[in-house]
Amino acid sequence: MKKRFYFTSAAFPNMITMLNLVAGFFSILMSVQEKYEYAVWLVFLALILDSLDGHVARIFGNETEFGRELDSLADAVSFVVAPCMLVYKAFLQNSPMALLLVIVFYLCSGVFRLARFNVNPTHGGCFEGLPTPAAALTLMMTMLAFHESPWADRSFSLISVVFLMTALGFLMVSDIPYPKVSAIKFRSWRTLFVVQMVAFFGVFFYLNIESAIASIFLTFIVLSPFYCVSCHKASDEGAPDEGGGA
């Protein structure tokens, strides 16, 4: 008789993964109802749950192939489909059909990124390409900032969403390194944290909280690959020469 995974301790991380999926589903519903703030914060909740399920699996010592596949499917809903739905409802619903190709490109890039991660997981504390949660929250928070800012007219928002979705799609399928947040050491990344805090408080003072949070994600996406490369070079220089041992 086959061992049923739902009768073991593996059920706990899988339940958290399911909650991630549910949060993504309700985010889509909120976007359909044009409640965009709730849609964005539900994806934030999905991000927290996505971070928890792996930690819980390691605590119980029951990381499984099934759990990894389930997590990937939940992420596809929460971090790929949900942001696509928000952008469509908020900005592209009444736009030319050709602009929907931007959403299709982002959608395909996100799913490709998740499939590639299943085959090539994290190495050395860095991801290969931009992770889908970071891409989703950057996109959704920036779009929410445009929606909440009176200075952002429709033409500016439309150009911005096309550019941002295209850029994020390329970053997800690229080989550009991005750090695993839980592996970041404050001492090495202190300058980036300072820059993010300055950007946050500056934008918050002049605009609003949505724009300030978006500035943190945008700063991270632009600058963090340089830190990954510099940290990798520093570790290579500090490593002993494998060919010189006696």
pLDDT given for residue 246 in this prediction: 43
Q: How much is the pLDDT for 86? A: 93
Whole-structure pTM value? 0.82
Residue 1's pLDDT is what?
44
Buried-exposed string 177-205: b where 16+ CB fall within 10 A, e elsewhere: bbbeeeebeeeebeebeebbeebbeebee
Distance, in Å, from the CA atom of 121 to the CA atom of 135, rounded to the nearest integer, reads 18
Decide if pLDDT at 238 tops 70: no
Report whether pLDDT(55) > 70.
yes
What is the mean predicted confidence (pLDDT) over 57-82?
Answer: 85
Q: Which fold has domain 7-231?
A: Four Helix Bundle (Hemerythrin (Met), subunit A) (1.20.120)
Could you tell me which of 136, 116, 139, 166 has the C-alpha nearest to residue 23? 136
Residue 127 confidence (pLDDT): 80
Could you give phi then psi for residue 91, rounded to 5 degrees? Answer: -130, -30
Range with the largest mean pLDDT of 3-7, 50-54, 134-138, 232-236: 134-138
φ, ψ for residue 176, nearest 5 deg: -65, 130
Confidence of residue 233 (pLDDT cuts 50, 70, 90): low
Stretch 46-62: mean pLDDT: 80
Residue 47 has pLDDT above 80, yes or no: yes
Q: Tokens for 246, please give them.
A: 């006696």
